[in-house]
Amino acid sequence: MATHRILLVRESRISAIHGFLLNHPKLDKRGGGDQTFGVKLALLGDPDDGSVVRARLAGWRLPNDWWITLRDDVVPAAWKVNTTDNDNDLSHYASSNWTLDQVLADVSRKPFALKIVPVEEPPV
């Protein structure tokens, strides 16, 4: 059985997730790196120029055993998961229960409401 989940990861923790996924390509068919967490998030009050990124987002339809591997092996025990602390590391949501807008606005599993940061293409 597989469940679609939305994962939000604090920006300073992204490299740890990327490093693990690059060594476990079975868990990430997108190849890791920015292909995995390509959506950048910022606080509602941050500018819309992509200069402030607080977190990254990914949506995955993962078999439950892959989710367990990510949850148990990727996320160190010291990480804060689904807390309202300012240094919360990871929040996760089952898409069957949450819309994207609800996830971005939720402060029961993360400290701040977030918005998607539009990434401008560099001039050619």
Q: How confident is the model at residue 36 (pLDDT cuts 50, 70, 90)?
A: confident
DSSP E strand stretches across 48-97: 55-63, 90-94
Q: What pLDDT, on the 0 to 100 scale, is given for residue 35? A: 74
More confident residue, 122 or 33: 33
Q: Encode pLDDT of 85-110 as tens digits.
A: 999 999 999 999 999 999 999 999 99
Calculate what percentage of the chain has a pLDDT beyond 70.
Answer: 93
More confident residue, 61 or 33: 61
Determine how many CB atoms are found less than 10 A away from the CB of residue 35: 13
Q: What pLDDT, on the 0 to 100 scale, is given for residue 61? A: 85
Q: What pLDDT, on the 0 to 100 scale, is given for residue 118? A: 83
Q: How confident is the model at residue 23 (pLDDT cuts 50, 70, 90)?
A: confident
Q: Alpha helices of the chain — where are they, by DSSP H?
A: 14-23, 64-69, 100-105
